[in-house]
Structure 1
Amino acid sequence: MSWSQTVLLVAAGILGGLTGSIAGLASVATYPALLVAGLPPVAANVTNTVALVFNGIGSILGSRPELAGQRQRIVRLLPVALLGGVAGAVLLLSTPAEGFEKVVPLLLGLASLAILAPVRPPPVAAPSSRAQTLRRAAEAVAIGGICIYGGYFGAAAGVLLLALLLRSGASSLAHANATKNVVLGAANLSAAVIFACVAPVHWTAVAVLGLGCLIGSRLGPIVVRHAPHRPMRIAIGLAGLALAVKLGLDAY
């Protein structure tokens, strides 16, 4: 790997780590950089997934203040995230990409609109145990689907997950973002383990890109914590819409 490629991947990793820990858009920066560095698409995709493990580490470390008090919810969601990441990795290695490529722009566009829409305050009355069980089951199914996509490719999976968490009781954007970082980090880790065993991972690129991701992702939660929430939500939503348009044009 040349010095210019090394600099490119470190810079892409920092940008990807920053945007990934804020909005789940890491792959938008990191995956194209791997293609520019000369990796073929499948190798770039699996290398990207393994490198983004460092993004998860930095994001979780930076999100520790917002994770306080969320242990019960996260423990409930982690098995779903891990299984979703495994399923996505297996899907990538065994099926063509056309199906996901066509549906993702629609999902991403809807999620971005959900982030842009105002969040209604939760009802005063506590939900019944049956309603709470159904809500948790629906949330788990939706998160499982997002984590399958995250293990499969993952571009903007964080936008989808952030929109869901904001609509399912997160107390603030920062708290939803912290939960997103843990859930997506778990899904990405389980997919990365499979790729590391059976896929053509470029380990030098993983080391270089991962270093940048670790730096950028450590800073992202700090930005979310201190930035005004409304402008941040608008920026994330608009970025997601722009990516949905691009992915739609590429797919169709």
Structure 2
Amino acid sequence: MTWLELAAIALAGIGAGFVNTLAGSGTLLTFPTLLAFGVPPVTANVSNNIGLVPGALSAAWGWRAELRHQKRRLLRLAPASLVGGLVGAVLLLVLPAEAFEAVVPVLVALGLVLVAVQPWINRRINARAQEGIEPRDHWTTIPAVAATGVYGGYFGAAQGILLVGALGITTGEPVHATNAMKNALSAVVNSVAAAVFVLVAEVDWLIVLVIGVGSVVGSLVGSRVGRRLPAALLRGFILVMGTTALVVFLTR
């Protein structure tokens, strides 16, 4: 892999860390970049997942103030994310590579749809808060978090948006609180999946290192200044990169 390619991957890692801190879908930046440079899909997914763990942990730390009133909820939901992430990681390794290659375009398309409808999800969440609805967990919160964990352990693109939508709808918490919880739970999913991949999967450690450093830088920047960016601009960038991923897969 050339220095130019590594630089492009590092930039994608920075963007992924930044985007994941704010909304999720950072994998839609790093994953198509790896595919464009000829990295096999499963190896790209595994290495990308491990590389994004440091950024996920940094994002959770960056939003710690919004988590302070949700400590009990985090303790209730973290086991669901852990189990879901473990199941998703095992499915990635057990199912044939052909199955992953077949399902990824569908998952990327789902991620793009979720990115596109995120403003509607946020409006629903904010409307509940303005109506004075007391935030509380619905009985569907834990199953929804577990299912999102399976998705995140298997692929991960738009896992954050799935979590924000599920948490916002089932708990009634405002956007900033759900985003903070999303960062913490995503870190749980990514970490447990990464642990599985390190033990049994084929990992490109150079890619892990480059994405890992980039994702930490991006997440730290996102935690500090990311909220100032227009949401429409950020969402449009993700949609462009996600569309690139679809094109790459469909033309391989």
Would the TM-score normalized by the shorter structure come out above 0.5?
Answer: yes
| Number of the residue aligned with 2:90 | 90
164, 167, 175: which one aligns with 1:165: 167
Question: How large is the Cα RMSD of the aligned pairs?
Answer: 2.8
| Number of the residue aligned with 1:152 | 154
Shift of 1:237: 6.0
Instruction: Report the more deviating stretch, 235-244 or 155-164.
Output: 235-244
Shift of 1:213: 0.5
Shift of 1:74: 0.7
Number of aligned residue pairs: 241
Change (3 A) 1:166 1:145: same
Q: Is contact 1:17-1:220 (8 Å) kept?
A: yes
Q: Is contact 2:115-2:158 (8 Å) kept?
A: no
Shift of 1:113: 2.3
Deviations 1:43-98 (A, max 9, x none): 11100011011121221121112111111111111000111111111111122233
Deviations 1:148-202 (A, max 9, x none): 1111011111111112222233543222111111111100111110100111101
Kindly report which structure 2 residues correspond to 1:27-46, keeping only aligned pairs within 5 A, or say none.
27-46=27-46
Distance 2:9 2:119 in 1: 30
Report the AA paired with residue 146 of structure 2.
G
State the percentage of identical aligned residues. 33
Kindly report which structure 2 residues correspond to 1:111-126, keeping only aligned pairs within 5 A, or say none.
112-113=116-117, 115-117=119-121, 118-119=123-124, 120-122=127-129
Q: Is contact 2:140-2:170 (8 Å) kept?
A: no
| Number of the residue aligned with 2:179 | 177
Instruction: Report the more deviating stretch, 14-23 or 214-223.
Output: 214-223
Change (3 A) 1:32 1:101: closer
Q: TM-score under structure 2 normalisation?
A: 0.82
Deviations 1:89-133 (A, max 9, x none): 111112223356536635762574254252222565769xxxx67
Matched position secondary structure for 2:39: coil
Runs of 4+ in structure 1 deviating by more than 4 angstroms, as ranges, are 122-127, 234-251
| Number of the residue aligned with 1:222 | 224
Change (3 A) 1:2 1:194: same
Q: Is contact 1:113-1:237 (8 Å) kept?
A: no
Q: Is contact 1:106-1:244 (8 Å) kept?
A: no
Report the AA paired with residue 72 of structure 1.
R
Change (3 A) 1:191 1:67: same
Q: Is contact 2:14-2:218 (8 Å) kept?
A: yes
Shift of 1:37: 3.7
Q: Is contact 2:21-2:59 (8 Å) kept?
A: yes
Q: Is contact 1:23-1:236 (8 Å) kept?
A: no
Q: Which runs of 5+ in 1 are unaligned?
A: none
Q: Which runs of 5+ in 2 are unaligned?
A: none
Matched position secondary structure for 1:18: helix
Change (3 A) 1:34 1:103: closer
